[in-house]
Structure 1
Amino acid sequence: MPLNAGDTGYGSVAGPGLSSTVGGSESAPLLIPEDEPEPIQQWQPLSKEELKLAAGGPGWKKVRCYLVLLFWLAWLAMLAIAIAIITMSPRPVVTPLKWWQKSLFYQVEPELTLEKQAEGSWGINALCDELPYLKSLGIGALILQGLFDKKAYPTNNATGERIGTLPQIQHLLAESNKAGLKVLLNVCEVDLLGLGDEAGNASKTSGVSGTVHHALRFWLEQGVAGFEICDTDAAYSEKTLLEWKGVFKEFGSEEEERIVVVKQTSDVLPLLKNSSHSNVTVVDVVLKSILPTSQHLLSSEEVAAAIETQLQTKEDDFWPSWTVGGKASRDLKNLLLVLMMTLPGSPAVSYDEDIHQTPSVSLKVNSSHRDTNISLDVITKEEKNRRLAVALFTSLSHSRAREEALQFGSFTFLPFNSSSSSSSSNSTLPSPPSPPILAFLRSWGCVHFLILLNVGPGLRPLDPAWAPSLPKAGVFVSSTRMDRLGETSLEALELRPHEAIVIKLFEAGSYS
């Protein structure tokens, strides 16, 4: 008998109407019902009524129109307010400067005698060769000194005992014009009016007036841009300078204006002789000295006192030009150069061998090898100093040429006390007080240049609270040793002996 006889078995069921016998049974698979698929819904756009209902009703369209209109009105109002703020807010006005206000004057006295030039002295021919080089340094005008004897008229046929140098001077004027340099003639202390020691000789003055005017016209025709006189000269009078101005108008224009430079020989510029008006109408530039005239080298304390006096002096109505004037130690030479280049006005730098294109350094070959090595060391040091002087001069002149704050920006003297160095505090011996750090600010708009001067021989750190209103961060523009670069913080700054620094201030984190 089979094992599954009479049993439907797992997985099979008995057929309907059939016997469960062997002959009358069959097996059928077990069926499990599956879920019916859901019907696919077709997307249909909303009708107009449904859209209005979803948007919040028929009134929502008007609300949207009002919101769009309000957005554009607010945007136009903000634009109008921004324009009004820009228009009404105070802003710096660019001051139009004339050529002599933008120029850097270079005072030079070339050797005119043929004997001296034959000996290798720096003469007019050598000066002509260096005109392009001087122009590249940023120099804009030359002031030629020592061309005329003090008892001779500066006419076309008389240069004192130096007769025969007129073609050289004319050649220099022509070459200067080609190089883009102005030339001024120094006639300070020259007896232009022929008065000599006679005072109040009006008849003699009127007699030589025509001769002086003839001489002025001659040099103006040669291309001279102006003349320099002293405030002690007889020509320093309103009548004479007004006559000169009348002659200048015949040759000058707005771009080629001829000027008069007055050298101030005392602490205060005296009033014009026989003057009834202000000096400004006839005097263009006043040449002032930073240091007083002295026969000996001024000490650091004397130099600091003189500089502080000049910084605290109230600005005059005329345009100043600054020169060193007195004698100071070589250690302060670069510091005084930084001061001249950053004071309001036009710098007037005297001839300097360090910025000469061909330094007068000669090597004498000695029989001793040791002497030759010493000479080479001296030359190396002098060449290093020359390159430093050229780099500093070029950096300052180019910074002054491109920065409005250094050209015509406002001037603010900043008196403050610096911290004493640790070395001086540990000393038990009394020491003379060191000159304080001198500082001033040149500003134009939001641009500020801070100039720091350490005239003393010691290291001077700044007091962090010396100027709380100024930004604490800045970037170095120039320094006397040309070794300070990048960003700096006033709170961590220390000035080395006889060092001057120019810093462009900015808010912390705004410089990249």
Structure 2
Amino acid sequence: MSQDTEVDMKEVELNEMEPEKQPMTGSPGTLGEKNGMVKVPKEDGEADAGTKFTGLSKEELLQVAGTPGWVRTRWALLILFWLGWLGMLAGAIVIIVQAPRCKELPPQEWWHKGGIYRIQALEAFQDSNGDGIGDLAGVEQRIDYLSSLKVKGLVIGPIHINTPDNLTSTDLQTVDPRLGTKETVAKLLEAAKKKSLKVILDLTPNYRGQMSWFSPETPPNSDFQSKMKAALKFWLELGVAGIQMEGVEQLNDSQLLGEWKNLTSQYSSDGNARVLIAWTGQQDSRQIFSLLNETSADLLVSPYLLRLELEPTGQKVENAIRAYIQAAGEKWPSWTVGGPRRHMASLVKERLLRLYHMLLFTLPGTPFTNYGDEIGLQEPPGQSGVSRMQWNNSANFGFSSKFFPQGGDSSGRNFTVEAQSGNSSSLLSLFRHLSELRGKERSLLHGEFMMLPRLVQDVCVYLRSWDQNKRFLVVLNFAGTRSTVTISHSLLPPEATVELSTDPQRQGGQLALKDLTLESSEGLLLHFPYVA
């Protein structure tokens, strides 16, 4: 290869190299040029085309900006800016002034915000150790299930040692060994706390005896009163969220409940209020709320709805609800069907079971239900004793590893928790949906209640509303046949949306309130938006 060729190849390699890597081989005559770069001479006229535009100088710009035309333009733009800003400010003020104000929320404690689930026949709920007796550890084992019911609290017990009708050998601070220990109670309280569930303890002293308070002479006795106060302090300090007492109408001195209420208040704190619940067998609404005023209890529960017939008409249900709410006045009501150890399915017609659940969870007040009501559990027909909870379709329904004859329906029908959990049309699914709505919708939490005109005897209709929140219209058909009703009111739209129906065959969507048809024993929960 010739010397000239080698030089040309080196120049090509240098040109292809990155500028920062090219060697410093330039000659003094190429000062200011990058080494190895080839300078290509420009064609004629290229220099003129590449001339840069320098614009006006600062002095020239100031001279132009000071001309009368530009001064007037700047002032016009400035005035328009401030006028626009003031216009937007005025518009915002008008909107704020004319917009409807949000209603102040009423003060509510946790027991106002959802249902209470009673496990008072503790020995029938869940056996944890195979001795055939339900216990406190069994309740803890089922805490996930209890949480899925969306209730706010559980009432358990009584669990203390009680020799029937014997005050001396009754120990209000010691757990019946068949049910557990103090440590078992503490573990249950901790497990419930993790699930945001409150645990209320029934402390009715003589729960195994003939009379809740032993005898009429017992409550005034100072030794008995001291014993009760010590027991209340013991359990409240352990961490229970409240105390329940049964048979309060048997107390000759209602001042006692007032003193016990003061104790629960003393143990209350922000976010951890303690409740005092009183249970009475009274069914007259005036006597019930007269008793509530005397006792100062937070909640007074009664079998008031049992005064209705086995198959009541919508008119009778409406009248009973009106009387109860009127008697309540400013007091917070509570609702239940049955007693602490009676199941709803044994007290109402089977076709009305779903309807009563919808009634309990949509009325103003706190709904109380018994364990098993959510699956339609009944008392054993023709047998004494309580019904054991039916968890699954095993030989003893999952209640205990110990085998024994189970009362009730053992024919494989869908009465167990396991069978109903995966079925969206089951009673259990309806219960969960109602309970969830009751705990989160403001119109159901603390909304106004209005009974609407009823044109059909067997249909009960009422409205729940709160401020600017979603409204709920409840339509309950207590007839055993299909009913058609026209619902008309100035507060109602012509159509409403189906939120929930007790009839599994009912499709969702919009329903016209004129000539609304309900199936036999169907309850409808409809909703519609607030319109200013």
Q: Does 1:448 align with 2:471?
A: yes
How far apart in 2 are the matches of 1:289 and 1:444? 28
Q: Against the structure 1 CA distance between its residues 303 and 486, is the aligned structure 2 distance closer, same or farther, given a 3 Å change threshold?
A: closer
Tell me which amino acid in the other structure corresponds to 2:199: V
CA contact (8 A) 1:194 1:205 kept: no
Shift of 1:183: 1.9
Shift of 1:228: 1.8
TM-score scaled by structure 1? 0.68
Which residue matches 2:271? 255
How far apart in 2 are the matches of 1:461 and 1:291? 26
Q: Against the structure 1 CA distance between its residues 174 and 236, is the aligned structure 2 distance closer, same or farther, given a 3 Å change threshold?
A: farther
Which residue matches 2:510? 488
Tell me which amino acid in the other structure corresponds to 1:479: S
Q: Against the structure 1 CA distance between its residues 131 and 377, is the aligned structure 2 distance closer, same or farther, given a 3 Å change threshold?
A: closer
CA contact (8 A) 2:475 2:525 kept: yes
Q: Over aligned residues, Cα RMSD in angstroms?
A: 4.3
What pairs up with 1:26-425 in 2 under 5 angstroms?
70-86=83-99, 89-112=100-123, 120=132, 122-147=134-159, 149=162, 151-152=165-166, 157=171, 163-165=176-178, 167-168=180-181, 170-180=183-193, 181-188=197-204, 190=206, 196-198=214-216, 205-230=221-246, 232-233=248-249, 235=251, 237-264=253-280, 265-268=282-285, 270=287, 278-279=293-294, 282-292=296-306, 298-301=309-312, 305-312=316-323, 313-314=325-326, 315-325=328-338, 327-352=347-372, 355=375, 358-359=391-392, 362=395, 378-379=411-412, 381-382=414-415, 387=423, 388-418=426-456
CA contact (8 A) 2:261 2:297 kept: no
CA contact (8 A) 1:459 1:497 kept: yes
Q: Against the structure 1 CA distance between its residues 172 and 139, is the aligned structure 2 distance closer, same or farther, given a 3 Å change threshold?
A: farther
CA contact (8 A) 1:185 1:228 kept: yes
Q: How many residues are paired up?
A: 417
Q: Secondary structure at the match of 1:138?
A: coil
Q: Against the structure 1 CA distance between its residues 236 and 68, is the aligned structure 2 distance closer, same or farther, given a 3 Å change threshold?
A: farther
How far apart in 1 are the matches of 2:283 and 2:205? 15
Shift of 1:146: 5.0
What percent of counterpart residues are identical? 22
CA contact (8 A) 1:332 1:498 kept: yes
TM-score scaled by structure 2? 0.66
Stretch of structure 1 that moved more, 215-224 or 407-416:
215-224
How far apart in 1 are the matches of 2:152 and 2:373? 18
CA contact (8 A) 2:471 2:530 kept: no
Shift of 1:73: 3.6
CA contact (8 A) 1:263 1:287 kept: yes
How far apart in 1 are the matches of 2:266 and 2:116? 24
CA contact (8 A) 1:290 1:306 kept: no
CA contact (8 A) 1:288 1:320 kept: no
Match among 437, 452, 460 for residue 459 of structure 2: 437
Shift of 1:284: 0.8
CA contact (8 A) 2:484 2:516 kept: yes
Shift of 1:52: 9.5
Q: Against the structure 1 CA distance between its residues 415 and 123, is the aligned structure 2 distance closer, same or farther, given a 3 Å change threshold?
A: farther
Q: Against the structure 1 CA distance between its residues 144 and 163, is the aligned structure 2 distance closer, same or farther, given a 3 Å change threshold?
A: closer
Larger RCO (CA within 8 A; separation ≥ 6): 2
Q: Secondary structure at the match of 2:434?
A: helix
Q: Secondary structure at the match of 1:128?
A: helix
How far apart in 2 are the matches of 1:324 and 1:223? 29
Tell me which amino acid in the other structure corresponds to 1:503: L
Q: Against the structure 1 CA distance between its residues 175 and 195, is the aligned structure 2 distance closer, same or farther, given a 3 Å change threshold?
A: closer
Tell me which amino acid in the other structure corresponds to 1:216: L
Q: Against the structure 1 CA distance between its residues 111 and 261, is the aligned structure 2 distance closer, same or farther, given a 3 Å change threshold?
A: closer
Q: Against the structure 1 CA distance between its residues 354 and 436, is the aligned structure 2 distance closer, same or farther, given a 3 Å change threshold?
A: closer
Q: Which runs of 5+ in 1 are unaligned?
A: 1-47, 365-375, 419-434
Shift of 1:488: 1.7
Q: Could you list the per-position Cα deviations for residues 321-372 of structure 1 after superposition, in whole angstroms to 9, with x for gaps in the alignment?
A: 21113821111111111111111111111121654671356499xxxxxxxx
Stretch of structure 1 that moved more, 381-390 or 496-505:
381-390
Tell me which amino acid in the other structure corresponds to 2:449: F
